[in-house]
Amino acid sequence: MTSAETISSAQPPKAASRNKTAKAKPTARQPSSARTARKADLSDGSHTTRVTKHDRVLTLLNRREGATIPEMMEATDWQQHSVRGFLAGTVKKKLGFTLTSKKLEGELRRYRIETKRGR
């Protein structure tokens, strides 16, 4: 037996090193037990409506007095730059609402979604 034959026979087969199914990749999804528990909770016939952070901010903005940035921050646990980004990107650009702001003397700026009346 030559030294070349000994080296080639000592190497593992390449097919075994390419087996990608051997390792399970971590996922960002919930464990299956949590998903089935959530489905089981809703299968009893009770319908719960999910209130998202977007819904909370839009509700605040639709009020007659509008909302300040600190009020929106408290309702969503977002930081100030996130609230401002939501107002500019989602409320104005994506949803197409007319967003107005008003600042009275000694008060914080209040933002409000203008609704068209009389139509």
Q: Give the confidence band of 103 by pLDDT, cuts at 50, 70, 90.
A: very high
Residue 82 CA: distances (Å) to CA of 19, 33, 66, 67, 85: 43, 33, 18, 15, 5
The pLDDT score that the predictor gives to residue 7 is 56
Inter-residue contact 97 to 113 (CB < 8 Å)? yes
Report the CATH fold assignment for 53-114.
Arc Repressor Mutant, subunit A (1.10.10)
Chain segment 64-82, per-residue pLDDT in tens: 999 999 999 999 999 999 9
Round the average pLDDT of the chain to a whole number and report it. 79
pTM (predicted TM-score): 0.58
Q: Judge whether residue 37 has pLDDT over 70.
A: no
Rounded CA separation 114/116 (Å): 7
The residues spanned by each domain of the chain are 53-114
Per-residue pLDDT band for 115 (boundaries 50, 70, 90) equals confident
